[in-house]
A and B are shown apart, each in its own frame.
Chain A
Amino acid sequence: MSSTPVNYDKTKSFLIDTTKCTGCRGCQVACKQWNQLKAENTTFFSGEGYQNPPLMSEYTFTRVKFKDYQKDGQNEFAFYKEMCMHCNEPACASVCPVGAFVKTPEGPVVYDAGRCIGCRFCMIACPFGIPKYEWSKAFPLVRKCTGCFSRIKEGMQPACVTACPTAISYGSRADMIKEAEKRLKNRPDRYQQTIYGKDEAGGTSIFYLTEQPLDELGFKPVTQRSLPSYTWQALRLVPGIFLTVGGGLSLLSWFTHRKERIRQEEAFKNSKVQPETTVEETREDQP
C-alpha cells in the first residue's frame, strides 16, 4: 500500500487474555444484542466440544471457541474469542473493488453496505476468515464485526468489552502491547511468550495471550507481512506495463508497416499509371 508508514499506536485495540476467559459467552450475547443479530438454531456438540454456535456466520460476529485438553490427568478447557482482527492494513479493504471497507483512524475496520457489490473477494482475501455472507438472501451483502464503531464514536466501549467480566482489556494499541508485554514478563510460566496479533498480517488491533500453543487453540498461522503489499507489488506495475506494451507495439507496428508503405510508394512511382492527376489539376485550377 502506501509507502509512508502510518502510526497505529493510538488506534483502539483489544487485549484478550485467554487464560482469564471463563467461557461464559457474555461477549457473544452482548454482540448479538447490540448488533440486533438473529439467534441461530443450534445444538450442543455440533462443533468442537461445548462450542456453540459451531461457526461464525452472518448472524454471529464473535464466538468463543472451546478447546478440551488434559492436564495432570484433569480435563481442562481453553477458550479463544474469535472476532474480526481489525488489521492495520486490512486485506479486505485492499481487494474490495468499490472500497466498501475502510480502516477508520479510531481503529475498527468498517464496512459500507451501500457500496458493496457482493463479489466476495473480501472473504477470499481475509486471512482470518472473518467476512460472512448473507447466503439466505437473493441479493446478499457481507456481514462482519464492526468493532462497535457506532459505540466508540460516542466514547463508549464495544459491547463485548463491557460484557466481559474477566478477559478483555480495551485501550490504545501502544498501551495494550505494553500491558501484554508486562504480563508475559511477570508470569512467564503462565503464558506462551507470543502476542498473537502484534505482527500477524502486518499488525492487528486484537492481541491474544494464551497458555496453550497457538495452533492447538485453532489460531491460524498467518504471514507477518501486511497482505495488501503482496498484491500491490504486482498492481503498482500496471501503468508502466500498459504504457510499455502500448508504446512497444505502436513502435513495432510503425516499423513493420513502414516497409510496406515504402514499397507501395515506390511501386506507385515506378508505375506508369498516374490516376486522378487530371482531376486533381482541374480542381486546383478552380479556386
Chain B
Amino acid sequence: MTAAARIIINEIKGYHNFLKFMIGLVVMGALATMARFIFGLGVTTNLNDVYPWGLWISFDVVTAVPLAAGAFTLGAIVHCFHIKKLEPLVRPAIVTGFLGYSLVCVGLLLDLGQPQRAWHTMVYWNIHSPMFEVSMCIMAYTTVLFLEFLSPVCEKFGYHVPLRVLRWLEMPLVIGAAAISTLHQSSLGTFFLIAVDKLHALWYNPLLPLLFWMSAIFTGISIIILEATMVHRYLGQPDESELLEVLTKILPWTLGAYLIVKLAATALLSHGPLYDRPSLLTLFLAELIIGIIIPMFMFMKKAYREDDRMQLRGASLVIAGVVLNRFNVSMFGMEQADQAIYYPSIIESLVTIGIIAAHVLFFVLLAKYFPIFEHHPETVDYSLPDHAHSMTAAHEHSHASGSESVH
C-alpha cells in the first residue's frame, strides 16, 4: 500500500507546475464544497429569496452544458454527415464532453438543497417541468458519453470483446447523443420561459429554446477548435489546423442563422420595452457583437480560416459570447431594476473555479494515460486475439458466422 502511494506521489512530483496548480485549485474547490455542506447554502453563498439561482446554476449548469456540446456536434458531423477526415478530433471531444457533463452533475448536486434525493426525479415524474426533462436527458447523455469514453479505456487495457460491442454501438450512440442533446440544450432555454415577467424582453421570447440549441452547436464547434489548438500548443500533439479549417467553414453559417433568428425573435416576438435599461442593452449588444458578428465576419475570410492563431481567436470570441449570453439570460437579465445586484460569494467562486480546474486537470491526465490522441480508427485491432480464439475453439462454427455478421 505504501509502495503504491509512493509511486503515485512520485508520479505527481513529476507533473508540470501548471498541473500542480490545478490540483491545488481542485483541492480548494473540494474544501469549499465541504463548507457548503457543513454550514449550509445561506451562510456560504450570496443567494437569498430574491435571488435563488446564482453562479452555480448560471455557470456550472446553464453555461457548462453548451460548453460541453462538442461531442454531440462533432459526432453528428463526422458520423452522420460523414466527414470522415475529422475523425481524429472526435475522441478528444468525447472526453471533453464526458468530463463536462460529469462536472455539470457535480455542480447541480452541490446546488440542490437535498442532493441525497436527486434520484427522486427518476421516480416522481413531472413531464411539465423543463427541469425534469433536462435532468433525465443529462443522466442519459452522461451515460452515453461514458460508453463512448469506454473505447479508449478498453483499448488501453486490451479488452477486446467490449471493444467490439462498443464499435457496434457507435452509430446508435452518436445518433442518440445528438437527439438527447438537442432536447436538453433547448430545454435549458425553456427553463426561462416560465420567468415571464422577470427575464428582460431583450432575452425573453418564445424562441429561446431554439436559440439555446443553435448556440450550443456553434459553441460545440468552437470548443473543439479551442481544445485542439491548446492541445497542439501545450501537450505537443500534432497540428490539426487543416481539419479545424473544415469546422471554421461551418461556423459562419451557423452563426449567421443564429443571428437572423435571434434578431427576428427579439424584434417581432418579444413583449415589453427593449431599450429601458442601458446596462442590459449594452450586455445584449456585447454578446451579439463579440460572440456572433465579429467571429462570423472573421471566418468568412479564407485567410483567417487557414491561420491557426485566427482560428483560436475566433473560437474564443464565440465562446466568450455564449458565456455572456447564458449569464445574461440566467443572471443579469433576471435582475429587476429595483433589486440589489447579486455577486457570488468567495465559496461559490472557489467551487466554480475548482470545477473548471478539475476539467482541465482530468483532461490532461486522461490524455497522459489513455490513447485519446493516438486514435486512428483504421489501425485499431477489433479482431479477437489468439487466446480468445483458443477459448472459443469449441464453438468455432458459430463464431465464424458471428464474425460474418460483424463485417
Chain A residues at the B interface, C-beta cutoff of 8 Å: 1, 55-57, 91, 93-100, 115-121, 123-125, 127, 129, 132-141, 220-223, 225, 227-228, 230-235, 238, 241-242, 245-246, 249-250, 252-253, 256-257, 260, 280, 283
Q: Are B183 and A139 in contact (CB under 8 A)?
A: no
Q: Are A125 and B183 in contact (CB under 8 A)?
A: no
- Given contact pairs A133-B52, A253-B174, enumerate 16 new A-B contacts (beta carbons under 8 Å): A95-B129, A95-B131, A97-B120, A99-B129, A117-B113, A118-B112, A132-B49, A134-B42, A136-B42, A227-B196, A233-B206, A235-B128, A235-B190, A238-B187, A242-B183, A245-B182
Cβ of B194 < 8 Å from any Cβ of A? yes
Q: What residue in chain A is nearest B132 (Cβ atoms)? A: A97
Interface string of B169-194 (1 = CB under 8 A from A): 00100111011101100110111011
Q: Are A252 and B80 in contact (CB under 8 A)?
A: yes
Q: What residue in chain B is nearest A287 (Cβ atoms)? A: B397
Q: What residue in chain B is nearest A220 (Cβ atoms)? A: B197
Q: What residues of chain B lie closer than 8 Å to A256, measured between beta carbons?
A: 80-82
Known: A118-B112, A118-B114. A249 touches B80 (CB 8 A): yes
In terms of DSSP, what is the predominant structure of the interface of chain B? helix
Q: Are A234 and B49 in contact (CB under 8 A)?
A: no
Residues of B30-75 contacting chain A, CB below 8 A: 37-43, 47-50, 52-53
Cβ of B349 < 8 Å from any Cβ of A? no
**A91, A238, A252, A280, most chain B CB atoms within 10 A:** A238
Quick one: which of A95, A136, A225, A246 contacts B130, CB cutoff 8 A? A95
Q: Are A133 and B49 in contact (CB under 8 A)?
A: yes
Q: What residues of chain B lie closer than 8 Å to A93, measured between beta carbons?
A: 128
9 example contacts (A-B, Cβ-Cβ < 8 A) are as follows: A94-B128, A96-B131, A116-B117, A135-B40, A135-B47, A139-B114, A223-B196, A235-B128, A235-B130
Q: Are A115 and B120 in contact (CB under 8 A)?
A: yes
Quick one: which of A97, A124, A220 contacts B135, CB cutoff 8 A? A97
**B121, B124, B174, B180, most chain A CB atoms within 10 A:** B124
Q: Give A134 to B52 CA distance when docked, in angstroms.
A: 11
Q: What residue in chain A is nearest B123 (Cβ atoms)? A: A98
Q: Give A125 to B197 CA distance when docked, in angstroms.
A: 10
Quick one: which of B82, B178, B194 contacts A94, CB cutoff 8 A? B194
Q: Give A117 to B178 CA distance when docked, in angstroms.
A: 28
Cβ of B111 < 8 Å from any Cβ of A? yes
Q: Are B52 and A253 in contact (CB under 8 A)?
A: no
Known: A116-B114, A117-B113, A253-B82. A227 touches B194 (CB 8 A): yes
Quick one: which of B49, B114, B400 contacts A129, CB cutoff 8 A? B49
Q: What residues of chain B lie closer than 8 Å to A1, measured between beta carbons?
A: 128
Q: Give A260 to B79 CA distance when docked, in angstroms.
A: 12
Minimum distance in angstroms from A117 CB to a CB of chain B: 5
Q: Give A117 to B191 CA distance when docked, in angstroms.
A: 17
Quick one: which of B39, B115, B120, B175 contacts A246, CB cutoff 8 A? B175
Cβ of B155 < 8 Å from any Cβ of A? no
Q: Are A140 and B194 in contact (CB under 8 A)?
A: no
Q: Give A67 to B332 CA distance when docked, in angstroms.
A: 29
Minimum distance in angstroms from A93 CB to a CB of chain B: 8
Minimum distance in angstroms from B14 CB to a CB of chain A: 39
Q: Give A140 to B41 CA distance when docked, in angstroms.
A: 8
Q: Give A233 to B186 CA distance when docked, in angstroms.
A: 13
Cβ of B118 < 8 Å from any Cβ of A? yes
Q: Give A134 to B113 CA distance when docked, in angstroms.
A: 9
Q: Are B194 and A117 in contact (CB under 8 A)?
A: no
Q: Give A33 to B28 CA distance when docked, in angstroms.
A: 44
Cβ of B125 < 8 Å from any Cβ of A? yes
Minimum distance in angstroms from A116 CB to a CB of chain B: 6
Known: A117-B113, A129-B49, A253-B171. A235 touches B133 (CB 8 A): yes
Chain B residues bordering chain A, tally (CB within 8 A):
65
Known: A135-B42, A231-B130, A235-B187. A253 touches B113 (CB 8 A): no
Q: Give A138 to B114 CA distance when docked, in angstroms.
A: 9
Minimum distance in angstroms from A124 CB to a CB of chain B: 6
Q: Return the 3 tightest CB-CB contacts between A and B, nearest first.
A: A118-B113, A135-B42, A256-B82
Known: A123-B49, A124-B52. A117 touches B121 (CB 8 A): yes
Q: What residues of chain B lie closer than 8 Å to A140, measured between beta carbons?
A: 40-42, 113-114
Minimum distance in angstroms from A200 CB to a CB of chain B: 10
Q: Are A230 and B193 in contact (CB under 8 A)?
A: yes
Cβ of B29 < 8 Å from any Cβ of A? no
Q: Are A234 and B113 in contact (CB under 8 A)?
A: no
Q: What residues of chain B lie closer than 8 Å to A221, measured between beta carbons?
A: 197
Q: What residues of chain A lie closer than 8 Å to B52, measured between beta carbons?
A: 120, 123-124, 133
Q: Are B179 and A245 in contact (CB under 8 A)?
A: yes
Q: Are B49 and A55 in contact (CB under 8 A)?
A: yes
**A124, A221, A241, A242, most chain B CB atoms within 10 A:** A124
Q: Are B183 and A97 in contact (CB under 8 A)?
A: no
Q: Give A118 to B182 CA distance when docked, in angstroms.
A: 26
Cβ of B76 < 8 Å from any Cβ of A? yes
Q: Are B190 and A138 in contact (CB under 8 A)?
A: no
Q: What residue in chain A is nearest B48 (Cβ atoms)? A: A135
Q: Are B53 and A117 in contact (CB under 8 A)?
A: no
Q: Are A235 and B127 in contact (CB under 8 A)?
A: yes
Q: Are A137 and B40 in contact (CB under 8 A)?
A: yes
Cβ of B383 < 8 Å from any Cβ of A? no
Known: A123-B49, A138-B38, A253-B175. A234 touches B197 (CB 8 A): no
Q: What residues of chain B lie closer than 8 Å to A280, measured between beta carbons?
A: 400
Minimum distance in angstroms from A234 CB to a CB of chain B: 5
Residues of B226-280 contacting chain A, CB below 8 A: none
Q: Are B131 and A252 in contact (CB under 8 A)?
A: no
Quick one: which of B53, B175, B196 contacts A127, CB cutoff 8 A? B196
Known: A94-B128, A123-B52, A135-B48. A283 touches B400 (CB 8 A): yes
Q: What residues of chain B lie closer than 8 Å to A245, measured between beta carbons?
A: 178-179, 182
Q: What residues of chain A lie closer than 8 Å to B183, measured between beta carbons?
A: 238, 241-242
Q: Give A73 to B209 CA distance when docked, in angstroms.
A: 53
Q: Are A117 and B49 in contact (CB under 8 A)?
A: no
Cβ of B126 < 8 Å from any Cβ of A? yes
Cβ of B195 < 8 Å from any Cβ of A? yes
Quick one: which of A115, A125, A242, A250 contacts B194, CB cutoff 8 A? A125
Q: Are B179 and A249 in contact (CB under 8 A)?
A: yes
